[in-house]
């Protein structure tokens, strides 16, 4: 692996119709790290994640993915993105869990023809997230936590190196959430880089290697202990301490 970070943002700014959502943000995501991205509602987290993945282009500044300028990057199967909304169709489609996970393999096939190796990769991914026994169930019959595992398995089957997750456990019960974050820890232990948007600060300080806290601008980018000790949280969230009280 090269020594360049997986993602590098330099002085990145992005506005919707002249209203800045991300302003002058510089940060890196290093190979194999688990970065937690926090900030109040509407603070630009989803926009920042999209900028990182090249899904939107910055108005100013520079974005690099895997050491290349993001607009030249064309190795999409290295990226796994589980957005808050894009999973809507799959959630309700009458297809099986195995079929959803198999979708991750198609970019690796010639003309969509699956071989034995592809089927093995799908099976391994199902086992890694511990939903192999659910593989013939329809995706829309699964619980929220199980569905998130299926979407992660899809990106694993596709051999993604970078997994980007936008509030993946909204509507998932507490036990399944804990299990889900333990799974993310296992993935980073295996060398997969994770960027997670999460509203529960406690989860992020428990699991992430580093935290980026934004409210349009970057308020903190560093380890969880430094984040807890700093006043970045209070500054970024302003007087909205409800979220802070819910943290640990
Ligand atoms: P977060 O993920 O932290 O909730 P977002 O990145 O979704 O924040 O949004 C940041 C700001 O940009 C918000 O004020 C939001 O209303 C605005 N915004 C997000 N998406 C769009 C869009 N497609 N068009 C216009 N404004 C948008």
DSSP, residue by residue, 95-120: -BHHHHHHHTTGGGSBTTB--HHHHH
Ligand 1 pocket at CB < 6 A: 16, 21, 39, 41-47
Cα–Cα dist 2/218, whole Å: 26
Nearest Cα residue to 24 out of 214, 233, 234: 214
Spatial contact of 38 and 45, defined as CB atoms under 8 Å apart: yes
Cα–Cα dist 72/192, whole Å: 22
Task: Please tell me what DSSP assigns to residue 114.
Answer: -
Question: Is the pLDDT confidence value at 235 over 80?
Answer: yes
Give whole-number Cα distances, 161 to 188, 194, 205, 206, in Å.
Answer: 10, 9, 23, 22
Q: Which pLDDT value is given to residue 94?
A: 78
Q: Which two tokens stand for residue 5?
A: 């970070």
What confidence tens digit (pLDDT) does each residue in 13-34 have?
A: 999 999 999 999 999 999 999 9
| CA distance between the termini of the chain | 36
From the CA of 43, give the closest atom in ligand 1.
3
Which one has a higher pLDDT value, 2 or 65?
Answer: 65
Cα–Cα dist 178/173, whole Å: 9
Q: Which pLDDT value is given to residue 151?
A: 87
Backbone angles phi, psi at 99, to 5 degrees: -65, -40
Ligand 1 pocket test, candidate residues 20, 47, 216, 219, most atoms within 8 A of CB: 47
Cα–Cα dist 221/31, whole Å: 16
What is the whole-number distance in angstroms between the Cα of residue 154 and the centre of ligand 1? 27
pTM, two decimal places? 0.89
Question: Is the pLDDT confidence value at 244 over 90?
Answer: no
What is the whole-number distance in angstroms between the Cα of residue 42 and the centre of ligand 1? 6
What confidence tens digit (pLDDT) does each residue in 95-126 have?
A: 899 999 998 898 888 887 889 999 999 999 99
What is the whole-number distance in angstroms between the Cα of residue 21 and the centre of ligand 1? 6
The CA radius of gyration of the chain, in Å to the nearest whole number, is 18
């Amino acid at each position: 692996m090269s020594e360049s970070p997986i993602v590098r943002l330099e002085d990145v700014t992005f506005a919707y119709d002249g209203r800045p959502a991300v302003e002058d943000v510089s940060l890196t995501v290093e190979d194999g790290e688990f970065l937690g991205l926090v900030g109040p509602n509407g603070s630009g987290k989803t926009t920042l994640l999209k900028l990182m993945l090249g899904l939107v282009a910055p108005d100013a500044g520079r974005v690099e993915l895997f050491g290349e300028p993001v607009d030249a990057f064309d190795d999409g199967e290295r990226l796994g993105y589980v957005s808050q909304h894009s999973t809507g169709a799959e959630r309700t489609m009458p297809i099986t869990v195995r079929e959803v996970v198999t979708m991750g393999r198609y970019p690796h096939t010639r003309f969509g023809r699956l071989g034995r190796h592809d089927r093995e990769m799908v099976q391994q991914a199902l086992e890694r997230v511990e939903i192999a026994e659910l593989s013939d169930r329809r995706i829309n019959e699964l619980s929220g936590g199980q569905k998130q595992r299926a979407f992660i398995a899809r990106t694993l089957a596709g051999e993604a190196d970078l997994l980007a997750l936008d509030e993946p456990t909204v509507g998932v019960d507490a036990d399944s959430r804990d299990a889900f974050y333990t799974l993310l820890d296992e993935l980073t232990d295996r060398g997969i880089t994770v960027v997670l948007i999460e509203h529960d600060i406690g989860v992020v300080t428990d699991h992430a290697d580093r935290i980026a806290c934004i409210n349009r601008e970057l308020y903190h980018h560093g380890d969880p202990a430094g984040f807890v000790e700093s006043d970045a949280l209070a500054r970024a969230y302003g007087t909205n301490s409800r979220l802070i009280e819910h943290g640990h």
